[in-house]
Amino acid sequence: MSKSIHIHEDISKASTLPGWFYREATAFEQVKEKVFSKIWHYAADEADLGASGSVFPLTILPGVLDEPLVFTKNTDGQLHCLSNVCTHRGKVLVENACNAGQLRCGYHGRCFHLDGHFKSMPMFDGVENFPTEKDDLTKIAFAKWAGMLFTALQPSVAWEEMIRPMQERLSWLPLDTLEFVPDASKDYLVKANWALYCDNYLEGFHIPFVHPALNQVLDFKNYHTEIFPFCNLQVGVADEGEPHFSPPENSPDYGKKIYAYYWWVFPNLMFNFYPWGLSLNVVEPQNHQLTKVRFRSYRFKNQPFDWAQNQLDQTEIEDESVVESVQQGIQSRFYDSGRYSVKMEKGVHHFHLLLSKFFNGKSDFS
């Protein structure tokens, strides 16, 4: 039987997600279609596609959604995101990134233009009412931002609407100069439900207890969270002598020494901006009790980056330890749900509210 989630809009009266949401595989099965098929996913960097004629295949949430897609770049440089499944018999069209003048199925030779339109098919003489639009490849929504590509299978909200507060708040940063740093990028496997990882990220409450090194560089008394429709922001103010942003006069943060902007975009994208650049954390569920977290580091042009000095690996290991402990604890038959700290857990409450709306079927926000 399908369950529903009820989160009170008033944080002072609300209780957290019920324990069964994190524990039960059946709840995770509902999340696949009700949440992850309707939200935006990090797909690739624009740099992953080369010149005109580039073809770049990918799978959205392997093992969960398992949706084969392909980015193509026309001869005029126009970008397309398409279903990577042949409309004849369903074979995956493109197995590896390459340069090509067309998409050709290796099963029966059906061909498509790089914009997804049907081109040709051998041995189909005599087939009535052929071809039709059904023989074209489905076009998939995608967006470009800060040199990155994002895609959504059935988006409930436009990408621009999701990230508008972040875009406006950080308009003074040279986002167009971000460069990927492969040596400072890695994946982590966390033995916990994906939502527990997000819960942990969305509050600074635990910093003094879990992250001693991070706590030393932050002015914790001024740490705070701001809520927006589909994203939220945690502002980390730097302690004396620590690296920091100096926002311009037209910024609401003017006069503050900002150690980091921690932006979360519903439900699983984390954009962590530091003076050196961006740490993008992509939270990818593997099943209801295993999560892959992809750390992708981008630095502003000509900005030095020191992985060890920036403590990203240390902080992640500390987070993993506590999240995995929570995963173990919520298996208890005595745990149901908790309450929120009005001051420190506004971000978690916001996440749970949005999650409950999607989970309960209210996911058309257009």
- Whole-Å CA distances, 283 to 145, 192, 314, 331: 18, 11, 18, 22
Task: Give the residue among 213, 253, 260 at the shortest CA–CA distance from 238.
Answer: 260
pLDDT tens figures, 206-264: 888 878 888 778 888 888 999 999 999 999 999 998 889 999 999 999 999 999 999 99
290-299 and 179-180 beta bridge pairing: antiparallel
User: What pTM was estimated for this model as a whole?
Assistant: 0.94
* Contact predicate 325/297, CB 8 Å: no
- Tell me the backbone φ, ψ of residue 43, rounded to 5 degrees: -110, -50
The pLDDT score that the predictor gives to residue 221 is 87
pLDDT tens figures, 39-70: 999 999 999 998 889 999 999 999 999 999 99
Please report which helix (H) or strand (E) contains residue 277, including its range: strand 277-287
The pLDDT score that the predictor gives to residue 308 is 57
Helices 312-329 and 194-201, interaxial angle, to 10°?
120
pLDDT, block means (10 residues), the chain with 366 residues: 88 97 96 96 95 94 96 92 98 95 96 97 96 98 97 96 97 96 94 97 87 81 94 94 92 94 98 96 97 96 70 83 94 95 96 96 64
Return the structure tokens found at 285: 């569920």
Q: Sign of the C-alpha dihedral, residues 147, 308, 207, 333?
A: positive
Q: Tokens 């989970």 label which residue?
A: 359
CA pair distance 254, 18, nearest whole angstrom: 40
Reduce the DSSP state of residue 290 to 3 states and report it. strand
The pLDDT score that the predictor gives to residue 365 is 58
The pLDDT score that the predictor gives to residue 16 is 97
The pLDDT score that the predictor gives to residue 212 is 80
- Whole-Å CA distances, 100 to 22, 55, 169, 264: 44, 7, 40, 37
Question: What spatial distance separates the first Cα and last Cα of the chain, rounded to whole Å?
Answer: 29
How many other CB atoms sit within 10 Å of the CB of residue 285?
Answer: 23
The letter for the amino acid at 238 is A
